[in-house]
Amino acid sequence: MPNADGPNLRGFLREIRRLDTEARLRAAEGRIAELEQRLAELSLLDPVTGLPNHRRFSDRLSQALLMAQRHRGAVGVIQLDLDRFKRVNDLAGHAGGDDVLRQVGRRLQGALRQGDTLACMGGGRFMALLPELPHALGATRTAQKLQEALQAPFPAGAREIGLEASFGVCVFPQDGMEAEELEAHAEAALYRAKERGGGRIECFTTTLDRDALERQELEQCLREALRNREFQMCYQPQFRMDGRLAGVEALLRWNHPMLGPVPPGKFIPLAEESHLILPIGEWALRESCRQMALWNQQGLTSGPEPLVLAVNVSALQLTQNNWDQCVVRALADSGLRPGQLELEITESLIMRQGPEDILPLRRLRETGTRIAIDDFGTGYSSLGYLQRLPITTLKLDQSFIASLQASPGEPASEPIVRAVIQLAHSLGLTVVAEGVETEGQRDMLDLLGCDCLQGFLLGRPLPADGFEALLQSMAARGFLEAPAIRAQGPSR
Ligand code: C2E
Ligand code: MG
Ligand code: MG
């Protein structure tokens, strides 16, 4: 195609020899203009396939973006690269390789709609511009059609060659606003497709973008969750070493109608960042106080000592003005005595508070409310600091319990647990071990003098009705005792 002008030029020269000088000049000028235009056109075409090249593609993409901005439309950019194309040149020679590229171009063109642009960037790489996408998913659908178009083998001389391609897809406006940016994002997606083994389609969303999108959507759902009553409290029992029920930890559960149960580890940090933990935390506190007061009224919690309700509190709540008043109100409204409520604050959180943030805790402690340090052992508390805090309870982090009986060669946490229990007792604190899963752990904790146990061995978190059934069965037997501890016999 590029050399098609050679013979014509000679014919032209033959023709103008017959003309007079004036006419010759006019004809030559006209011909030069024609050639210039043709050259300009050629500079926008790929020499092998005759398809638009990268320059023309970029011009058309910029135009398409202008139109789409005006009409609020979507534009798709697909970049594709033939996997291991060098192999084709090795097998069929350069001329054969060029011929395969032309065939590829024709097949791809056939799979596109009128108005779409297919460009060849050389070296087995193509780009498709989809200027009028009905919706973002349309671009992926087109990439699938292009992929299908390449499925049948390509004749190359006497043989047939199978080809696969990798595809990167991105869409204006969601994946980028500028032509260059969209091309780069389609290329990034293409590289990901290659990294993942080739022969596949990848859409542009960096892991970051994907995470951000998911977080945004989750946050939106979280905003509606309180109103839609999607939260529930679950209750996990805590037992004394002699088998009596000592308390219950209230744990928040979120059951989204479409997403299903979302784990607290996922939504609580998000609720904290978006400050939604303030209304959610207040609901959790009020709801669990209400429930506990109800169990009190039903006579299900009366033992030698009142059952303690432990509620988790987040950093943000703690630094909220007059937060202690909110707790006082929840207690007053439910009728629960302050001594029956224990607020759990994680160690790492309390370590970050200034003395003024501790004040509401101190005021609450003065009313009789109990205060526990949760996940103790992970936040590097200085012992002196611990002494100055208005606390009643230390909850040993699960990680220490899990490594109490280490496998050979691994360091066991037993000396640390022993030291923490001794320290806590010297400060007059109660020690609760979290995440007790095996009888071996329970026995070891018993030997080390731990006060209370919480974990799957003794009872999983249960919804209110399930926990109520547990309370009823224990009350019916006349004692608040855990079967798992009883089996071993009271030891202390
Ligand atoms: P946490 O306060 O340390 O709660 C204990 C976690 O350990 C719970 O996870 C519980 O289900 C789990 N667990 C109990 N026994 C065992 C066991 O034997 N083995 C294992 N592997 N795990 C056990 P969950 O319910 O997923 O809660 C995770 C965290 O989310 C809680 O850790 C707490 O920090 C936070 N959270 C839960 N509910 C609330 C809430 O109402 N407000 C706030 N601010 N945070 C909450
Ligand atoms: Mg807790
Ligand atoms: Mg904990």
Residue 278 pLDDT more than 60?
A: yes
Which residue would you say has higher pLDDT here, 77 or 89?
77
CATH of residue 99: 3.30.70.270
- Whether residue 346 sits in one domain with residue 291: yes
pTM for this one?
0.63
The preferred substitution site among 234, 251, 253 for testing ligand 1, maximizing ligand atoms within 8 Å of CB, is: 251
Radius of gyration of the chain (CA): 37
Instruction: Count structural domains, the chain.
Output: 2
At 480 the pLDDT is: 53
Same domain (yes/no): 174, 239? no
Ligand 1 atom closest to Cα of residue 461: 11
Is the pLDDT at 2 greater than 50, yes or no? no
Contact 245, 454 (CB under 8 A): no
Which residues are 342's β-sheet partners? 310, 370
342 pocket-lining for ligand 1 (C-beta < 6 Å):
no
| Beta-sheet pairing, 117-122 with 125-133 | antiparallel
Q: What is the DSSP letter of 53?
A: -
**Domain end: 139, 172, 204, which one?**
204
SS3 category, 393: strand
pLDDT tens digit string along 360-370? 899 999 999 99
- Is pLDDT at 487 greater than 50 in this prediction? no
- Top-ranked range on mean pLDDT: pick from 70-74, 216-220, 228-232, 376-380: 228-232
In this structure, the answer to whether residues 232 and 346 fall within a common structural domain is yes
Q: What was the pLDDT predicted at 492? A: 35
Neighbours of ion ligand 2 (CB under 5 A): 312, 344, 374
Distance of CA 372 from the midpoint of ligand 2 (Å): 9
User: So what's the pLDDT on residue 489?
Assistant: 39
Burial bucket for residue 95 (CB in 10 Å: 0-12, 13-18, 19+):
exposed
In CATH, what number is assigned to the domain containing residue 472? 3.20.20.450
Whether residues 261 and 189 share a domain: the answer is no
Highest-scoring range by mean pLDDT, 28-42, 131-145, 357-371, 446-460: 446-460
User: If you measure from the C-alpha of residue 253 to the centroid of ligand 1, how many angstroms do you get, rounded to a whole number?
Assistant: 10
Mean local confidence (pLDDT), 165-193: 91
Domain assignment of residue 8, yes or no: no
**pLDDT value, residue 486:** 43
227 and 137 inside one domain: no
User: What's the length of the chain?
Assistant: 492
Q: How confident is the model at residue 63 (pLDDT cuts 50, 70, 90)?
A: very high
Within a domain: residue 27?
A: no
DSSP sequence for 140-206? HHHHHHHHHHT-S-EEETTEEE---EEEEEEEETTT-SSHHHHHHHHHHHHHHHHHTTSSSEEE---
303 C-beta closer than 6 A to ligand 1: no
Domain presence at residue 9: no
Q: Are 130 and 139 spatial neighbours (Cβ–Cβ below 8 Å)? A: yes
DSSP labels, 231-265: EEEEEEEEEETTSBEEEEEEEEEEEETTTEEE-HH
Q: Is 281 in the pocket of ligand 1 (CB under 6 A)?
A: yes
Tell me the pairing of strands 308-312 and 245-256: parallel
Q: How confident is the model at residue 273 (pLDDT cuts 50, 70, 90)?
A: confident
For residue 234, the CA-to-ligand 2 centroid distance in Å is 12
Q: Over the chain, what is the mean pLDDT?
A: 87
Do 132 and 91 reside in the same domain of the chain?
A: yes
CA–centroid distance, residue 233 to ligand 1 (Å): 12
Same domain membership, residue 160 and residue 127:
yes
* Residue 1: predicted pLDDT: 41
Whether residue 29 has pLDDT greater than 90: no
| 398-451 residue pLDDT tens | 999 998 887 777 778 899 899 999 989 999 999 999 999 999 999 999 999 999
Model pLDDT, residue 307:
93
Predicted pLDDT of residue 143:
95
Ligand 1 atom at minimal distance to the Cα of residue 436: 18
Same domain, 413 and 277: yes
Select from 158, 181, 204 the last residue of a domain.
204
Residues 233, 191 share a domain: no
Distance 372 CA to ligand 3 centre (A): 10
pLDDT tens string 100-123: 999 999 999 999 999 999 999 988
What is the position in ligand 1's atom list of the atom closest to the CA of 313?
A: 44
Instruction: Read off the pLDDT band of 481 (50, 70, 90).
Output: low
d(CA 364, CA 125): 69
Does the residue 24 lie in any domain?
no
Q: How much is the pLDDT for 491?
A: 37
Yes or no: say if 146 and 78 are a contact pair by the CB < 8 Å rule: yes
Whole-number pLDDT of residue 206: 61
pLDDT score, position 390:
92
Highest-confidence segment of 6-20, 54-68, 265-279, 472-486? 54-68
Query: How far is residue 202 from each of residues 187, 197, 198, 199, 226, measured CA to CA in Å?
Result: 10, 11, 10, 10, 37
How far CA 215 is from CA of 210, 270, 478, in Å, comes to 9, 8, 48
Model confidence band, residue 270 (pLDDT cutoffs 50, 70, 90) = confident
For the chain, give the percent of residues with pLDDT over 90: 56
480 and 336: one domain?
Answer: yes
Which of 63, 60, 65 has the alpha carbon at shortest distance from 173?
65
Residue 212: inside a domain: no
Residue 468 C-alpha to ligand 1 middle, in angstroms? 20
**Strand, helix or coil at 291?**
helix
Of 204, 232, 248, the one marking the end of a domain is 204
Task: Report d(CA 104, CA 315) in Å as an integer.
Answer: 60
In a domain, 25, yes or no: no
Give yes or no: residues 350 and 457 share one domain: yes
Specify the pLDDT at position 468. Answer: 96
Q: Which atom of ligand 1 is closest in space to residue 281's alpha carbon?
A: 42
Domain annotation covers residue 37: no
Which pLDDT band holds residue 135 (cuts at 50, 70, 90)? confident
Residue 21 counted as domain residue = no
Q: 436-478, pLDDT tens digit by residue?
A: 999 999 999 999 999 999 999 999 999 999 999 999 988 777 6
Residue 287: per-residue pLDDT: 98
Residue-level pLDDT at 123: 84
Range of the structural domain that residue 186 is part of = 54-204
- Distance in Å, CA 336 to ligand 1 centroid: 23
Answer yes or no: do 183 and 240 share one domain: no
What pLDDT is stored for residue 348 in this prediction?
A: 74
Does 437 sit in the ligand 1 pocket, CB within 6 Å? yes
